[in-house]
């Protein structure tokens, strides 16, 4: 079976050849045993302290009774040196063979682990790679198998550690990167999830789901410039994707770039003319261009398909305000506030309308609500940073979910509660919150499902930098 790095197929013959060369050199008349002695002993030999004459050996010296004693000493040194070299060669041979065997065992363990995962046996997959502890070739793949097995066994903390270890061993391992990114995002750690997702994007820049997910997460984190870049990369790979188009248009409008959004709105209308989100964006674009009647018409079409369309409600309310139709604007502004309580612009508009129609107390309440919304946004930003520093703390993730729920971000809240339970299945507060949220928002059950990212099919993707046997 081939192995990762090219080695000699006959290590025993190499060792035998090396041993023979050493022994032949030792028998050669040019071989000098003094070169193998310590410096002190070499000086002793040269000065005659070991019984050997300090000058050249002459015929008279052969009768010197000390010479046989010196010859015996030299022969002893030669013998001991030869034995030492033989021991060294045998030790090297043992290490060479055992190390080669360990490399083969890593790849064999990876193959057994991936096979067990394909058969739906994560317990056997984990057992197959359990003994891998070193950094030999194949160890990164083994840690990836361990991470996938632990994910399926529900041990998310251990899975995260195993996948982080895999990336440390082999930073260009796509399987480990994409799985770790999805895990971090699923557990609420968007900051680290984005870091790993960017690593995966550098490894395989043609993977559309990576850029789409990156755009969504960047938008959720409030980094709209990077979200726009990610959506543009996604549309470069799939020009007509609905989610990428809607995400890009939304980010452009939220950053006050209606001119840049207009061609994308036109494309989206051509592909998805009945999508309420697209119609809501079209209403906003028409309003920004001061085409009020067209804006109201698009808003009416959007609200006929989705009565909670935030963009359509807010746009129609603004259009009525511009036309000084305060009474008609009020119900749309109130519904927009209910649809997205954290939007500071809609709260400001509602307060203005309430003040104009004489609802002073309601306007004061809306002002206080706007302050609470600002505090929620600041708290969520702080929690996001703390979660990135303490990714295994379920209390932080649950608090993020509670804050998102209060702000009307029901899907985010649901995911946070699920992440807290994944970190600690016995976390009763998270379990109760999730049950209450699902009871209050039945639509969440229909919106649940796989994330935009994908877990690679185990066993079908080769490592990015090397090829295993």
Contacts 24+ apart (CB under 8 A), 71-76: 74/33
Determine how many CB atoms are found less than 10 A away from the CB of residue 264: 22
Q: What is the mean pLDDT of the chain?
A: 77
Split at pLDDT 50, 70, 90, the class of 249 is very high
Instruction: Report d(CA 63, CA 49) in Å as an integer.
Output: 18
Q: What is the dihedral of CA 335, 325, 276, 244, to 10 degrees?
A: -90
pLDDT higher than threshold 70 for residue 322 = yes
Split at pLDDT 50, 70, 90, the class of 461 is very low
Split at pLDDT 50, 70, 90, the class of 460 is very low
What percent of the chain is predicted at pLDDT more than 90? 35
Q: What is the pLDDT of residue 127?
A: 87
- The answer to whether 247 touches 232, Cβ cutoff 8 Å, is no
Q: What is the pLDDT of residue 312?
A: 94
Q: What is the pLDDT of residue 92?
A: 60
Q: What is the pLDDT of residue 212?
A: 93
Full DSSP string of 367-394: HHHHHHHHHHHHHHHHHHHHHHH-TT-H
Q: Which residue has the higher pLDDT, 60 or 408?
A: 408
Q: Of the given ranges (232-241, 290-299, 336-345), which has the lowest mean pLDDT?
A: 336-345
Split at pLDDT 50, 70, 90, the class of 368 is very high
Split at pLDDT 50, 70, 90, the class of 192 is confident
Split at pLDDT 50, 70, 90, the class of 107 is confident
Q: What is the pLDDT of residue 29?
A: 40
Q: Which residue has the higher pLDDT, 116 or 48?
A: 116
Question: pLDDT of 10-22, one tens digit each?
Answer: 334 433 333 343 3
- The mean per-residue pLDDT over the stretch 250-279 comes to 92
DSSP alpha helix (H) spans, 10-65? 11-27, 39-47
Tell me which range, 92-96, 349-353, 382-386, is most confidently predicted by mean pLDDT. Answer: 349-353
Q: Of the given ranges (9-23, 86-100, 149-163, 284-298), which has the lowest mean pLDDT?
A: 9-23
- The answer to whether 131 touches 45, Cβ cutoff 8 Å, is no
- The answer to whether 23 touches 83, Cβ cutoff 8 Å, is no
Instruction: Report d(CA 406, CA 373) in Å as an integer.
Output: 9
Q: Using DSSP, state whether 463 is helix, strand or coil.
A: coil
Full DSSP string of 320-368: HHHTT-HHHHHHHHHHHHHH-TT-HHHHHHHHHHHHHTT-HHHHHHHHH
Instruction: Report d(CA 366, CA 380) in Å as an integer.
Output: 21
Question: pLDDT of 28-56, one tens digit each?
Answer: 443 332 333 344 434 443 444 444 444 44
- The mean per-residue pLDDT over the stretch 274-287 comes to 93
- The answer to whether 142 touches 157, Cβ cutoff 8 Å, is no
Closest CA to 295 of 272, 276, 273, 312: 312
- The mean per-residue pLDDT over the stretch 445-450 comes to 50
Q: What are phi and psi of 354, to 5 degrees?
A: -60, -40
Centroid of chain to Cα 212: 15
Q: What is the pLDDT of residue 52?
A: 45
Closest CA to 346 of 327, 362, 333: 333
Q: What is the pLDDT of residue 62?
A: 47
Instruction: Report d(CA 138, CA 107) in Å as an integer.
Output: 6
Question: pLDDT of 388-435, one tens digit each?
Answer: 888 888 999 999 999 988 888 888 888 889 888 888 889 999 999 999
> ∠ CA 170-175-179 to the nearest 5 degrees?
110
Q: Give this prediction's pTM.
A: 0.66
Closest CA to 210 of 238, 187, 188: 238
Residues 6+ away with beta carbon under 8 Å from 151: 122, 159, 179, 183
Split at pLDDT 50, 70, 90, the class of 360 is very high
Split at pLDDT 50, 70, 90, the class of 93 is low
Q: What is the pLDDT of residue 441?
A: 82
- The answer to whether 437 touches 444, Cβ cutoff 8 Å, is yes
Q: Of the given ranges (125-134, 303-312, 423-432), which has the lowest mean pLDDT?
A: 125-134
By CB atoms closer than 10 A (0-12, 13-18, 19+), residue 68 is exposed
Q: DSSP assignment, residue 172?
A: T
Full DSSP string of 100-121: HHHHHHHHHHHHHHHHHHHTT-
**CA diameter of the chain:** 133
Determine how many CB atoms are found less than 10 A away from the CB of residue 378: 10
Q: What is the dihedral of CA 183, 184, 186, 190, to 10 degrees?
A: -150
DSSP alpha helix (H) spans, 136-241? 139-153, 156-169, 174-186, 190-203, 208-220, 224-237
Q: What is the pLDDT of residue 453?
A: 43
């Amino acid at each position: 079976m081939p192995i990762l790095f090219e080695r000699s197929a006959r290590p025993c013959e190499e060792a035998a050849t090396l041993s023979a060369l050493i022994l032949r050199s030792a028998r050669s008349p040019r071989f000098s045993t003094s070169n193998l002695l310590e410096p002190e002993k070499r000086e002793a030999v040269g000065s005659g302290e070991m019984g050997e004459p300090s000058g050249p050996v002459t015929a008279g010296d052969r009768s010197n009774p000390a010479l046989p004693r010196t010859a015996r000493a030299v022969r002893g040194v030669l013998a001991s040196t030869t034995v030492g070299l033989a021991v060294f060669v045998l030790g090297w041979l043992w290490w060479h063979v055992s190390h080669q065997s360990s490399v083969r065992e890593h790849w064999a363990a990876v193959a057994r682990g991936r096979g067990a995962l394909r058969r739906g046996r994560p317990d056997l997959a984990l057992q197959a790679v359990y003994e891998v502890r070193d950094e030999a070739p194949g160890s990164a793949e083994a840690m990836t198998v361990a991470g996938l097995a632990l994910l399926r066994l529900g041990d998310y903390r251990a899975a995260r550690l195993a996948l982080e270890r895999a990336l440390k061993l082999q930073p260009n391992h796509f399987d480990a990167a994409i799985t770790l990114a999805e895990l971090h995002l699923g557990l609420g750690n968007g900051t680290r999830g984005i870091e790993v997702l960017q690593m995966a994007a550098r490894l395989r820049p043609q993977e559309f789901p990576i850029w789409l997910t990156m755009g969504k997460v960047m938008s959720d984190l409030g980094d709209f410039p990077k979200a726009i870049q990610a959506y543009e990369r996604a549309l470069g790979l799939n020009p007509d994707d609905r989610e990428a188009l809607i995400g890009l248009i939304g980010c452009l409008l939220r950053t006050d770039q209606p001119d840049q959004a207009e061609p994308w709105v036109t494309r989206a209308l051509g592909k998805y003319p009945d999508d309420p989100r697209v119609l809501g964006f079209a209403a906003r674009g028409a309003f920004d261009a001061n085409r009020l009647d067209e804006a109201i018409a698009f808003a009416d079409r959007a609200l006929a398909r989705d009565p909670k369309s935030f963009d359509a409600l807010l746009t129609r309310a603004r259009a009525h305000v511009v036309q000084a139709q305060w009474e008609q604007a009020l119900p749309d502004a109130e519904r927009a506030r209910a649809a997205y309580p954290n939007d500071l612009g809609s709260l400001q508009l509602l307060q203005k309308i309430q003040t104009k129609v004489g609802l002073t107390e309601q306007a004061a309440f809306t002002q206080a609500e706007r302050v609470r919304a600002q505090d929620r946004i600041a708290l969520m930003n702080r929690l996001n940073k703390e979660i990135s520093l303490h990714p295994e703390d379920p209390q932080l993730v649950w608090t993020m979910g509670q804050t998102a729920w209060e702000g009307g971000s029901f899907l985010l809240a649901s995911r946070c509660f699920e992440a807290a339970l994944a970190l600690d299945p016995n976390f009763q507060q998270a379990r109760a919150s999730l049950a209450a949220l699902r009871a209050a928002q039945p639509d969440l059950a229909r919106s649940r499902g796989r994330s935009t990212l994908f877990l690679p099919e185990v066993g079908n993707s080769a490592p990015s930098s090397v090829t295993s046997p």
